[in-house]
A and B are shown apart, each in its own frame.
Chain A
Amino acid sequence: MNNDEAKFVLRAYRPGGGDAGDPALAAALEQAKKDPALAAWFEREQAHAAIVATKLRLIAPPAGLRDAILAGARAGTAAGRRRHGWRRPAWLAMAAAMAVLFSVAAWWRLAPVGGASFEEFAVNFVDRGFRLQKHSADISELEAWLAEKRGPLPAALPAELAALRALGCRTLEFRGREVSLVCFERDGKEFHVFVARREVLADTADTAGPRFHGHGKLVAGAWSDARNHYVVVSDADLPTLQRLL
């Protein structure tokens, strides 16, 4: 086994030492003990892997996921028991449930979203839930789509915010005026950026630096530039949002 072959094998060695007893890796480990250059390479490789592993462990699952898993599994097993004991056609119950769901959804979609201010409207819009009209992680595609729809375009975004993974965008109306919405995501938290032209929201106060507010489970940050007013609404915590802006 030469050093290149040893490196190839040792890249599969987990940083926590979980593979210490693996006989297939033993020869490569033994070679690393005898060859200082290979040993130094392996040490850096493990240090790098350990840092990446540590960073990933810091990412916590979203609040509520555990309860949703447990509730979903209980519902599934209960449904399974019912199926075995009582042969009611499942599609019949499903169809009835869907009919109720669609009628509720239709009412829900028609109800307008209110808000005394641009920020309050944005928070209410996110809180109610919405659908993206354009899905893409490519910012230039989103910009082209918004331009085609004549939605207000962000002049610039804080770099930390713009570096998040884009999910998509849509347009909507606030007080009969066009608003653009661009959505980003990181670590299971979503960041929804609402953009309105300054001239159409004359009563919205200028906010040169971002101002932050908590709104129950959501947080919001608002700021302005020469062209637009912006509000970002997120389900992340306030410090996370402040770091992004």
Chain B
Amino acid sequence: MSNEAFTQLVDAHYGALHRFALSLARNGADAGDLVQQTFFIWATKGGSLRDTAKAKAWLFTTLYREFLRGRRREARATSIEELPPGEQDIAAEEIDRVARLDAGAVMAALQSVDDVFRAPLTLFYLEELSYLEIADALAVPIGTVMSRLSRGKAQLRAALTAEERGAGAKVVAFAAAKGGKS
């Protein structure tokens, strides 16, 4: 691939890949590393990956695999997916409240969603891949993607509500500050 074509590929996808990485890694430095590593693999892998029509899906898939390689924790997935669904329908006021939040608060809420739901959920909101492509990228069945989207959305709505409530106070005691483990 020529330098020009590679630059075009980076320009087309690095923003969305960074948002996906930021959601997964939960901090900017690791997110930047993941995006760089993904493009580095693309640049050095060899001729077998030169089908540019599939580049987008390949990049998201590779970034996710690199993330998993760093984390090595799949055991939680099964037990979390056994949780019963508990979604309530979205009220109009809830949509207005989310609209008032800034982008950082929405990303923070997304980052608080359980790992197993966060990857498909972020890919869904980035709108770059269909649920079929998400299933391929994450190497899970289509039904599992739908299930994770459904449950992930419920978690995200709860987290967005918490972000919206937290935006009210001006000063908080240090010990009382938000402290969820990553």
Q: Please list the residues of chain A having a beta carbon within 8 angstroms of any beta carbon in chain B.
A: 8-9, 11-12, 14-16, 18-19, 22, 41, 44-45, 47-49, 51-53, 55-62, 65-66, 68-70, 72-74, 76-77, 80, 136-141, 143, 153-160, 162-167, 185-190
- Let me know if A186 and B179 touch, CB within 8 A: no
Docked CA distance A80–B42 (Å)? 13
**From residue B86, how far is it (CB to closest CB) to chain A in Å?**
13
- Let me know if A14 and B172 touch, CB within 8 A: no
- Let me know if A187 and B104 touch, CB within 8 A: yes
Which residues from A are CB-within-8-Å of B181? 136-138
Cβ contacts A to B, 22 pairs, < 8 Å: A12-B149, A14-B127, A18-B130, A19-B130, A48-B95, A48-B98, A55-B107, A56-B126, A59-B18, A59-B107, A61-B18, A65-B32, A68-B32, A69-B40, A77-B43, A137-B180, A139-B178, A140-B179, A159-B169, A159-B170, A163-B108, A187-B103
B153-173 to A contact mask, C-beta < 8 Å, 1/0? 100110010010011111111
Which residues from B are CB-within-8-Å of A143? 174-175
Smallest CB gap from B126: residue in A: A56
Smallest CB gap from B134: residue in A: A12
**From residue B135, how far is it (CB to closest CB) to chain A in Å?**
10
Docked CA distance A159–B163 (Å)? 11
Interface size class of B (residues with CB under 8 A): 35 or more
Which residues from B are CB-within-8-Å of A165? 26-27, 108, 111, 182
Q: Which 8 A-B pairs have the closest CB atoms?
A: A188-B28, A162-B177, A73-B43, A139-B179, A58-B103, A55-B106, A12-B131, A61-B18
Q: Is B82 an interface residue (CB 8 A)?
A: no
- Let me know if B130 and A69 touch, CB within 8 A: no
Smallest CB gap from A162: residue in B: B177
Q: Is B15 an interface residue (CB 8 A)?
A: yes
- Let me know if B92 and A44 touch, CB within 8 A: yes
A186/B173 contact (C-beta < 8 A), A61-B14, A70-B7, A137-B180 known: no
- Let me know if B31 and A188 touch, CB within 8 A: yes
Docked CA distance A37–B147 (Å)? 22
Docked CA distance A187–B108 (Å)? 8
Smallest CB gap from B41: residue in A: A76
- Let me know if B108 and A186 touch, CB within 8 A: yes
Which residues from B are CB-within-8-Å of A48? 90, 94-95, 98, 157
Docked CA distance A93–B146 (Å)? 49
Docked CA distance A19–B163 (Å)? 30
- Let me know if B145 and A12 touch, CB within 8 A: yes
Smallest CB gap from A189: residue in B: B28
Which residues from A are CB-within-8-Å of B111? 165
Smallest CB gap from A41: residue in B: B89
Q: Is B124 an interface residue (CB 8 A)?
A: yes
Docked CA distance A74–B42 (Å)? 11
